[in-house]
């Protein structure tokens, strides 16, 4: 019996060791659970390089956090990094958003479990070293009330002579990149015009029959997130009238954001950057 218990203990230790360097310790701070993750057994020794690590956020049912461009309300998750000299972290790359509501105010955010990716630039490392990545993660989570909070996150990555991908996190990272916004096709011609307190967006013919299958998530608070567009058809082209946001630029030169289009049973996101013409 003692030998069986020793074997079980050994297997547990091996299992724990196999996760070392792939997942940081999960921190639960209601209504969120967070940790840092990496899709391999460690950092490959050698030249300076850029690696990607993940921030996993799991939210309790009914709670949300905010996209990098939250809209009328909200603050997105952020990390204040504590990195050794010679290391640097890039901008957090977010998954596409969907509509969330705080006190019936519609905004742009995330629910359930999501992965965010962060690029790290690192100097040359030798096999046998260990890198500890640390940072203070801050966020605001909302449901019927809002809870701002922060916590320390960390991830230890050994430096290895042979990189071995982790099947689960490699798949998750690939899935993340597959859902990132696409560039719009060249034959999709949009037009945006400032008309008083509104911005009018005219869609290309291909999208003009898809009004109920479209959504737009604006960046930089150019238009309000808590609204439904005024819709009309003109010369077989769909037109949306969107109210400008009082927190955005008074005379926007362009409107940027993500267009969500239902295609093939799912949603694809396209990155829009449309110059804005003067008032009619």
For the chain, domain boundaries: 21-178, 182-277
Q: Is 127 exposed, middle or buried (0-12, 13-18, 19+ CB in 10 A)?
A: middle
Residues 175-186 have pLDDT tens digits of 999 999 999 999
- Calculate the CA 195 to chain-centre distance: 32
pLDDT recorded at residue 103: 86
Percent with pLDDT over 70 in the chain = 92
pLDDT recorded at residue 16: 39
- Write down the CATH superfamily of domain 21-178: Immunoglobulins (2.60.40.10)
Average pLDDT in the 85-97 region? 97
Average pLDDT in the 56-85 region? 97
User: Which neighbouring-strand residues pair with 271?
Assistant: 183, 258
pLDDT recorded at residue 211: 87
Residues 212-223 have pLDDT tens digits of 899 999 999 999
State the pLDDT confidence band at 278, using cuts at 50, 70 and 90. Answer: confident
Q: Which residue has the tokens 């940081």?
A: 24
Q: Please state which of the four CATH numbers 2.40.30, 1.25.40, 2.60.120, 2.60.40 is assigned to the domain occupying 182-277.
A: 2.60.40
Of the chain, the end-to-end C-alpha distance in Å amounts to 85
93 versus 266: the higher-pLDDT residue is 93
Q: What number of other Cβ atoms are within 10 A of residue 34's Cβ? A: 22
> Do 21-178 and 182-277 agree at the fold level?
yes
Mean pLDDT for the chain overall:
91
Q: How far is CA 122 from CA 15, 48, 51, 84, 252, in A?
A: 28, 6, 8, 9, 38
């Amino acid at each position: 019996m003692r030998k069986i218990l020793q074997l079980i203990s050994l297997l547990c230790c091996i299992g724990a060791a196999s996760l070392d360097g792939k997942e940081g310790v999960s921190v639960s701070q209601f209504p969120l659970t967070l940790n840092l993750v990496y899709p391999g057994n460690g950092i490959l020794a050698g030249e300076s390089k850029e690696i990607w690590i993940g921030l996993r956020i799991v939210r309790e049912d009914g709670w949300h956090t905010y996209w990098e461009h939250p809209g009328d309300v909200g603050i997105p998750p952020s990390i204040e990094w504590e990195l050794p000299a010679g290391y640097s972290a890039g901008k957090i790359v977010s998954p596409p958003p969907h509509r969330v509501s705080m006190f019936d105010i519609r905004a742009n955010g995330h629910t359930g479990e999501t992965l965010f990716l962060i690029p790290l630039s690192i100097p040359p490392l030798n096999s046998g070293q260990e890198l500890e990545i640390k940072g203070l993660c801050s966020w605001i989570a909302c449901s019927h009330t809002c809870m701002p909070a922060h916590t320390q996150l960390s991830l230890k990555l050994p430096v290895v002579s042979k990189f071995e991908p982790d099947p689960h996190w490699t798949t998750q990272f690939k899935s993340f990149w597959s859902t990132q916004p696409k560039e719009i096709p060249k034959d999709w011609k949009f037009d945006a015009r400032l008309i008083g307190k509104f911005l009018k967006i005219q869609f290309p013919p291909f999208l003009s029959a898809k009004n109920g299958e479209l959504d737009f998530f604006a960046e930089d608070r150019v238009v309000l997130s808590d609204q439904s567009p005024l819709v009309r058809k003109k010369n077989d082209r769909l037109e949306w009238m969107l109210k400008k946001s009082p927190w955005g630029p008074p005379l926007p030169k362009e409107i940027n954001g993500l267009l969500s289009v239902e295609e093939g049973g799912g949603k694809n996101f396209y990155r829009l950057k449309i110059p804005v013409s003067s008032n009619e």
